[in-house]
């Protein structure tokens, strides 16, 4: 799967427009970090990606199986030190519905197989090019 976005910032402190071919979101720093708080911070976007992917992946699986999953609630928190050398991501998932213990365990397994979870726990290589 290939994903591509374009991020643009002008003179604003630190409002950034992030675009795909069909969508736009705003990222910004919180006011205590010099921003206007007009959008998700970059770390909130990362947490949102994991939460959204977890929920969608589990929902797809439960629907395909015909299981009585009524709702999925996921909470994600990210903590790191000042140097960003170590990051701790905590995800808590709640499944609502008349599910067996075995179904709940399988859904947790599926949550851990969502593409963003796999991306974050796998090998990551970031290469940056400078354009003229």
Segments making up each domain of the chain, as ranges: 1-40, 41-124
CB-based contact 67:78 (threshold 8 Å): no
Q: What is the DSSP letter of 91?
A: E
pLDDT at position 81, please? 82
pLDDT at position 113, please? 97
Cα–Cα dist 69/50, whole Å = 20
pLDDT at position 121, please? 95
pLDDT at position 23, please? 96
- The residues, any chain, with a CB within 8 Å of residue 54's CB and separated by 6 or more, are 72, 74, 91, 93, 111, 114, 116, 117
In which residue ranges of the chain is pLDDT below 50?
none
pLDDT at position 94, please? 98
41-124 has which CATH code? 3.30.300.20
pLDDT at position 12, please? 83
pTM exceeding the 0.85 threshold for the entire prediction: yes
pLDDT at position 120, please? 95
């Amino acid at each position: 799967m290939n994903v591509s976005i374009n991020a643009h910032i002008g003179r604003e402190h630190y409002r950034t427009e992030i675009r795909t071919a069909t969508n736009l979101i705003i990222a910004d720093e919180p006011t205590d970090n010099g921003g206007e708080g007009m959008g998700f911070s970059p770390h909130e976007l990362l947490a949102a990606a994991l939460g959204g992917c977890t929920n969608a992946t589990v929902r797809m699986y439960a629907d395909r199986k015909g299981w009585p999953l009524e709702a999925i609630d996921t909470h994600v928190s990210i903590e790191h030190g000042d140097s960003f050398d170590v990051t701790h991501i905590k995800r808590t998932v709640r499944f609502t519905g008349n599910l067996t213990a075995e179904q709940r365990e399988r859904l947790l397994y599926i949550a851990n197989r969502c593409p963003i979870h796999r991306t974050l726990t796998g090998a990551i290589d970031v290469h940056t090019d400078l354009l003229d």
